[in-house]
Structure 1
Amino acid sequence: MSARHHAVRLLLLWGSFLVVHVVTAVTGWIYPSQPMGDVVLVYEPWSTAALTGGPIVGVTETWVYPQLALLPMLAAAMISAPFAAAFGASAAYLVAWAVLVTALDAVAFAVLLGRRPAAPRRVAAWFWIAALLLLGPIAMYRIDAVTVPIAIVGGLWLSRRPAVAAALLTIGAWIKIWPGALLVAALVAVRARMRMLLTALAVTAGIVVVLFLLGADAEILGFLTEQTGRGLQIEAVAATPFLWLATAGAARIEYSFDILTFQIAAPGADAIGAVLTPLMALVALALTAVGARKAMRGASVSRLLSPLALSLVVTLIAFNKVGSPQFQSWLIVPALLWLVMDRTRATAAAVLVLALCALTCLVYPLNYDALLRAEALPVVILTLRNALLVVLLAVGIRALLRVPATASTNRE
């Protein structure tokens, strides 16, 4: 294939990447329900307070996020000044956030493609572009958007740069917990697990020491304790039956001012929410044990890593009492890595992830107001979305169970 043909392919990919990011950023201003609200209503005040001598979330007060989540928020605040003249002071932070996310995505996109990407990497690149377009502005205007490119680079570098990959995934987990699932999968599947484990421990120790020096103590693990007060959020998979009760007037949707989210108020909802986290832990441990057994019997990284990672990430969503729409962006990473490593077997999962992105956007932000009124159409869409999450979990587990576990001296 000629160099010109490769150049045209790269140009088309990069052009589509940039266009989709612009479209996604702009739709945040157009779509209903203010999908970029978290950025301007909570991220900007948190960063402003930290930069002006006020309270520092995660350090001087307990915070719902791991502490490194504050860094991209501060970065957006510091780069927002040049945008104020063109977009106005109130919009500058939003524009800066979109630029920051686009820049991070561009770095990961460049790592994915390289100079002459093979067919699986091109397919994975188109998949990412399509997923971003279908998921819409929620894929950009949340802190999760920062962790996606970090996790992609970490996943792509697991074989050649395992220590750097482990460091990136650990940093990602200190921004939003979910990249820790990818790290667990890597520690199970990749041969350099001890090097990665030591790197992850060293990065974590460094972060904890810095936080202590800044004055944090009980706040260091506050992002774990803050989650315990949550009720069953309306978009969670386990909330689906209660939403149907709400359409019949037998359950209520209420807003929690403590957690800033809409939750189910109905008999049994709190009990269901209470068992979800232990159940999530049990399923994750079982999946990890299956993966570890496969690895000990010689399963290759290319077959084991991606289905294990996908199953663990879906478990974090499907058994979560929180069902925030941005959680679907997590699915992009293991599906993308699976396309790179084993494109044929990844096809079903990738199609399901794209469907989940589209259905999630239809729920939030496009029909969210109607969902809050418990109207039938958005409840049907959300029910289908949640059912597909269960199907995706089944697809991941099935692929994990079917990974051949035969001893080999040529393990990756």
Structure 2
Amino acid sequence: MSRTVSMRLVALWSAFGLVHLFTAVAGWLYPSQPMGDVVLVYEPWSSAALSGGAIVGVTETWVYPQLALVPMLLAKILSTPLIAVMGASGAYLIAWAVLVTVLDAIAFAVLVGRSPSQPRRMAAWFWITALLLLGPIAMYRIDAITVPLAVIGGLWLVRRPAAAAALLAIGAWIKIWPGALLVAAVVAARSRMRVLLTAAAVSAAVVVVLVAFGADAEIFGFLTEQTGRGLQIEAVAATPFLWLAIAGAARIEYSFDILTFQISAQGADAVSAVLTPLMAVFVVVITVIGALKASREASFARLFPPLALSLVTTLIVANKVGSPQFQTWLIAPAVLWLVLDRTRAAAPALLVLALCALTCLIYPLSYDALLRAETLPVAILTLRNIVLVVLLAVGIRALVRVPAHRSSTTRE
């Protein structure tokens, strides 16, 4: 290994460690309790399961796919030696931060290797920067567990398609969004049948285990639980209602059932009801465009990145929920695009970084003011949501412009 390569690796890993440390500590310092879900929800769920109480997703319907409980339980187990020193909540938070950092480190090692190419170095610096800009919400949510799984899965799709599909399927059973990368892989990869069969086998194994533990109607409860949700204030479709709230024509109310702030206004329920079907239509249309490109033998490196990013962005833009941690979903497809096709990845990567920064300005830094429907945070959120729509347009445009393999050498 040359001295230059060694210095680059030291710089990358040093930045990785410092940013993760800063992000972990910032969770204790920033306003609006950005670590709230970890100690107020994840820790009680894991405690109940380990103490013989209710097991979410098994004995009662849950908002998450069932494998989401696994990292929560693991953090609880890891926190046990620290409880006597820091108390249950503090110990669990530290264990969670360590778990996320370790998983990120494994994915980061897969990304940079021992002698990373320039695209992989750029992707690594992008990931570090995105985490820094997004702040503690990028670490203290269950979504943080799925990002490294998606990065490794995406990087392995060509050479280890079965392992990649298994990781992405596991990720989808923790939080649904990695399923978008699976769909993109089935469309774009030459080993699509292996990817599809492996993902199906993993899902079947999960269902069998759940049934063995006594789950029945609860197995797909994470899908049915979402249908009754109202329009969350940070959702893209909620933007006009926030401006109405400033004028006093709409209200921001807290839902104790879903534990989130939602819009209460005439027309909000109708908008919420149409979003899920609209999302399904967009996903189908984007997938069909990708399939048409694949049928014309488009290269994986050109087709997979914009297809994956467009599908993931659709899950955010057309969602009735707009939770800030959703921005972590964009990190993996952007990292993969930088690795596979860095020239065309520049614009979407910059947009993702802008989304991370704007999201942190909203939550947690100005969230209290947003709940009061003050003009500045509403304007910042409006800009963030506009950038999300722009990112979707950029992804779809890149997807439409993917050339057929036969003519790619003359067009690229």
TM-score of Structure 1 vs Structure 2, range by shorter chain? over 0.9
How far does the alpha carbon of each residue in 1:282-323 deviate from its partner, in whole angstroms, 9 at most, with x for none? 000000000000001010000000000000000000000000
Give the C-alpha shift of residue 357 in structure 1: 0.1
Give the C-alpha shift of residue 149 in structure 1: 0.2
Structure-2 residue corresponding to 1:31: 30
Give the C-alpha shift of residue 193 in structure 1: 0.4
Question: Do residues 400 (structure 1) and 379 (structure 2) align?
Answer: no
Asked if 2 retains the 8 angstrom alpha-carbon contact of 1:298 and 1:408, the reply is no
Give the C-alpha shift of residue 229 in structure 1: 1.0
Secondary structure of 2:70 counterpart? helix
Structure-2 residue corresponding to 1:68: 67
Could you say if the C-alpha distance between residues 144 and 265 of structure 1 is closer, same or farther in structure 2, counting changes exceeding 3 Å? same
Which amino acid is 2:59 matched to? Answer: T
Asked if 2 retains the 8 angstrom alpha-carbon contact of 1:62 and 1:223, the reply is yes
How far does the alpha carbon of each residue in 1:35-64 deviate from its partner, in whole angstroms, 9 at most, with x for none? 000000000000000000000000000000
Structure-2 residue corresponding to 1:210: 209
1:11-26 → structure 2 map (5 Å cutoff) = 11-26=10-25
- Supply the distance in 1 between the matched residues of 2:185 and 2:173 (Cα, whole angstroms): 17
Give the C-alpha shift of residue 86 in structure 1: 4.4
Give the C-alpha shift of residue 3 in structure 1: 1.0
How far does the alpha carbon of each residue in 1:81-129 deviate from its partner, in whole angstroms, 9 at most, with x for none? 2223443333000000000000000000000000100000000000000
Structure-2 residue corresponding to 1:144: 143
How far does the alpha carbon of each residue in 1:163-183 deviate from its partner, in whole angstroms, 9 at most, with x for none? 100000000000000000000
- Supply the distance in 2 between the matched residues of 1:196 and 1:182 (Cα, whole angstroms): 11
Output the TM-score relative to the length of structure 2: 0.98
Asked if 2 retains the 8 angstrom alpha-carbon contact of 1:108 and 1:153, the reply is yes
Which amino acid is 1:127 matched to? Answer: F
Structure-2 residue corresponding to 1:339: 338
Secondary structure of 1:337 counterpart? helix
- Supply the distance in 2 between the matched residues of 1:381 and 1:71 (Cα, whole angstroms): 35
Which amino acid is 1:52 matched to? Answer: S
Structure-2 residue corresponding to 1:92: 91
Structure-2 residue corresponding to 1:246: 245
Give the C-alpha shift of residue 408 in structure 1: 8.1
Secondary structure of 2:234 counterpart? coil
Structure-1 residue corresponding to 2:107: 108
Provide the aligned C-alpha RMSD in A.
1.1
Give the C-alpha shift of residue 405 in structure 1: 1.6
Which amino acid is 1:308 matched to? Answer: L
- Supply the distance in 2 between the matched residues of 1:260 and 1:84 (Cα, whole angstroms): 27
Where has structure 1 moved over 6 Å in runs of 4 or more?
A: none
Structure-2 residue corresponding to 1:79: 78
Structure-1 residue corresponding to 2:261: 262
- Supply the distance in 2 between the matched residues of 1:73 and 1:240 (Cα, whole angstroms): 33
Structure-2 residue corresponding to 1:277: 276
1:283-322 → structure 2 map (5 Å cutoff) = 283-322=282-321
Secondary structure of 1:342 counterpart? helix
- Supply the distance in 1 between the matched residues of 2:127 and 2:329 (Cα, whole angstroms): 12
- Supply the distance in 2 between the matched residues of 1:237 and 1:106 (Cα, whole angstroms): 32
How many pairs align?
A: 409
- Supply the distance in 2 between the matched residues of 1:360 and 1:172 (Cα, whole angstroms): 23
Structure-2 residue corresponding to 1:325: 324
Which amino acid is 1:263 matched to? Answer: Q
Identical-residue share of aligned pairs (%): 76
Structure-2 residue corresponding to 1:7: 6
Structure-1 residue corresponding to 2:177: 178
Asked if 2 retains the 8 angstrom alpha-carbon contact of 1:77 and 1:93, the reply is yes
Asked if 2 retains the 8 angstrom alpha-carbon contact of 1:124 and 1:336, the reply is yes
Q: Which moved more, 1:87-96 or 1:177-186?
A: 87-96
Structure-1 residue corresponding to 2:377: 378
Question: Do residues 361 (structure 1) and 360 (structure 2) align?
Answer: yes
Q: Which moved more, 1:78-87 or 1:174-183?
A: 78-87
5+ residue gaps, structure 2, are none
How far does the alpha carbon of each residue in 1:138-171 deviate from its partner, in whole angstroms, 9 at most, with x for none? 0000000000000000000000000100000000
- Supply the distance in 1 between the matched residues of 2:55 and 2:26 (Cα, whole angstroms): 31
Secondary structure of 2:261 counterpart? strand
How far does the alpha carbon of each residue in 1:328-362 deviate from its partner, in whole angstroms, 9 at most, with x for none? 00000101100000001000000000000000000
Output the TM-score relative to the length of structure 1: 0.98
Secondary structure of 2:225 counterpart? helix
